[in-house]
Structure 1
C-alpha cells in the first residue's frame, strides 16, 4: 500500500477514536492529558498539545499502523488530527454537548464496559500461563508438524520507482547501512525493523521475490527486483536446510497456539466461579415474555449470566510480500 494511503488510514483511525471515544482510556487518563506536561507541540485556543500527550496517542495506535508514523510527514498528520479533535471538543463544549443526557448515558455505558474489560484482561493475563513443561510436551508429541523445507531469512528495502531503487543500491555501494536505509526509505511495514522479513519457506512470498531470495548467498545484496508491490532491494541474512526445527526455534509459535485455549479455560472458570458465588435471581416469567426459539439444551445448563464475550485471542501475524 502506498505510504500516502497508509497515512490516510492513520488519520481515519485517529479521527474515529477522537469522535467516538474508542481509545479505551479511563477518565482519569483523559484528565491527565488536559494538564500540559513536557514541551508543547501545539497550542489550540487555551489548550496545549504536549510531547507526552502526542506519544500517548502513538501508543494507542494499532501495531500495524505505528511504523507509518515514524516519518516527519506521518508525525505531522498525527499532530494535525489531534488539533482537529481538540477544536471539535472545544466547539462541543460551547454547545454543552458533554452535559446532554444522551452523552452522559453513553459515558456511563462506556465506563461499565471499560471496567469489565479491564477486569477480565487483568484476570486472564494473570492466570492464563503456559509452562515450559507444557510447551515441551506439545513439541515432543507434535514434532512432525515442525518439519519444514529449506528456509531463508531476508530483509528488503521497498520503494515505488526503479530510479529510487537505483539510488538505494548506489548508497549501499558507497558504504550505506542496509538496516538504516530500510528504516529511512522503505515504504512497507517492515521498515521499522530495518526491513527484516524473518524466516520464510518457499511459497510464502510472491514468485519474483522468492526466486531471487532463494538463489542468493548469505550476506549478499540483490540487484533490483520488480514485483506488483514496487521495486525491492533484498539482503539475505540467513539460510537453513530442510529438517526438523528445534524446540527453541518454535517455542514462541507453540506458545501462541496454546495460549488462546488457556485464556478460554480461565475465562470459563471465572464465569463458573462468579455464577456460584454471586447472588442473583432470574425472573423466568419476564424472560419467557421476551420470546425466542426454545433451546435444545436444558434450561438448568443454560448460561444465563450476562457477561461479555471471551477476550479475543492474540492476532497472528503473517508476512506477505
Structure 2
C-alpha cells in the first residue's frame, strides 16, 4: 500500500506540475457541498471517505497528504478510482457472471464470519453474566479443599493411533521396549506433526478425564493404554509428577472449578433442551 500511494502521489505531483495553468482569479469557483471533497459524475468523495482512506496509509504519506499539494494529489487518486468504477459499470462489468460470482462468494464468506462472531459474542456475554451473577464464583475454601486432594501436576507424552488393532500392537511393543517410543510415534502416530514428541503437563481437571485417571495411577516411566477418545486410541507414557505450591496451583484450581460449575449448568440444561448425539459407524 505504501509503495502504491507514494508512486501515485509522486506521479500526481509531477502531472500537476506539468499541466498546471495559471488560475483565473476572476472566474467564480463552484461552492463545495458540505462534507464533500470531490464529485465525479454522480459519485461523491466525502471527507469521511478521505479520512478513512488516509488511515490506511503510512504515517509519512499521511503527513504529506495533509499539505495542500499532498491533499490534492491524494484526492486525485480517489478520483481515478471513481472514474474506473464508472467506466467499469458503463462497460457492463457489474452485470458479468464473473463479477456477480465473485460478489456472491465474498457475501457467503462475510456471512460465515458474521455468524461465527455472533455466536462467539453471544456465548461470551452469557458467560460474563454467569460471572457477574456469582454463579461461577470460587471461594478460597473450595480452592484449599481441591488442593488438599490434588496438590500435584502430571506430565505425559502420548501416541494417538487411528485403529484399535494397530494400537494394541504398538502398546505391546512399547511395554516390552519403552525405548522404541520415538520409532513407534514416527511410524504410527496420527497426531499433527507439530504435536509429535511434545509433553503435556496438567493438574487433575485440566486434561481429558480418561487419560488423567490412567496417568494418576501410573508410575513415572511406565507405558499405559490404549485409551479411546474422539481423537483416536491413545498410548501414554507418564514422564514425571511433581507437587505444586498452593500459590502456584490456586489460579489453575480456580479455573478448573469455574469450568466445572459452568459444565454443571450446561448439563442441567440437558433436562430442558433435548440433546441427541449420533455416532457414525466407521
| TM-score between the two structures when normalised by the length of structure 2 | 0.32
Structure of higher CA gyration radius: 2
| TM-score between the two structures when normalised by the length of structure 1 | 0.29
